[in-house]
Structure 1
Amino acid sequence: MIRVLLADDHELLRTGIASVLSSDPDLAVVGQCADGPTAVRECARLRPDVVLMDVEMPGGDGISATAALLAADPTTRVVVLTMFDLDEYVVGALRAGASGFLIKTTPPRELVAAVKACAAGDATFGPSVMDRLVRTYVGSAHVPHPGLDELTARERDVLRALAGGRSNAEIASHLFLAETTVKTHVARILTKLGVRDRVQAVVVAHEGGLVGPT
């Protein structure tokens, strides 16, 4: 069972999201709150697997709350929610350590799939967000990263596929590998690059020139 905490100051929207998630037998909404500081406290108390975090809330924004709760528990996965697909929100979410970024108008089925993917360790971004994130955050300058030199040829293939926004299942199909093999490659890539998750690995890939913005 995937435990989810919701943080959004709009009660009606929060209730709707909770209803959508609770309709799936693999998901359990263990808590709800309306501001960033409360989200940090509730995360420490409830230990959710995934936090759906609004960007703009009274008493402290969601991006600052994301940074604070991940500093306390780096194993928590955070998906940032917003009404606006803005570059500064995408970049802020990445820098805070979020594992995903979704627009609030995301269809229910996609929202459920995104929460499950995030809990499984996949990066979760809405359409076009990954490319815009990398283009905005990385820019055109290449920054050498010694970990890239340690990757095998197959690990580089997997990292390029990650940078394209593919899930483990999609990478497995694309590279004709078993999904368990992909998971092993991803774990080794994260270790060699010294990064906490797939999103940070994608940034390193772009910074290091392994791939470029599409």
Structure 2
Amino acid sequence: MFTTRADLTVRQATPDDVPALLPVLAQAFSTGTVAEWAVPETADRTEVFTGYFRYMLALGLSDGRVDTTDDLSGAAIWYRRDETPPPDSDHLYGLEEATGRYAPKFLLLDAMFEARHPRLPHAYLAYLGVDPAVQSRGVGSALLAHAHEGLDAENLPAYLEASNPRNRDLYARHGYEAGLPMQPTSSGPPFWPMWRGQLNGGVRSSFPPPNPYYRRPR
């Protein structure tokens, strides 16, 4: 179980919040096995993830919803997904421009995530990041609880990809069920697809069947 902090207010972010949220997300995601795999050069990581999240925050604000806390110590980028999203070639160019010579690995992650994505309407948590200085203090749980309140009112399922066991366990405490892990390459870092189903008679629906077009890497 989890405890929601009463001293944190969650609200929808605006473009004025981007200068404060950008370093929060860049720092939160520029450490760990995924960052080391995506950007092997340590000296480049902060710059690359800053460019990446400048682009992702812009997308979230225009096409999805970005939640943040009143102290701007964390952010969550959500999207509503129908069965199959329309193709967007501009996204590939934007991602390449944001990540430079490291774009091939970011594009590979995008392709893997899309191939495994459930093909039914749901809310998609693309990113959740917390300032490393205040991690493990309930900021992530506050962001999740706020979003889930609205989703539960609609009885809408949610989906995400957890990038490490610690995050996977956090999401499990918030009602997500983990599927079989996926890897961008045979030596790449594992990600766990996670599903928070609809409530039917007090019981959440189980993980949807795997996308038949997904193939595990060899």
Greater relative CO (CA pairs within 8 A, separation 6+): 2
Which protein is richer in strand relative to its size? 2
Which protein is richer in helix relative to its size? 1
TM-score, with length taken from structure 1 = 0.31
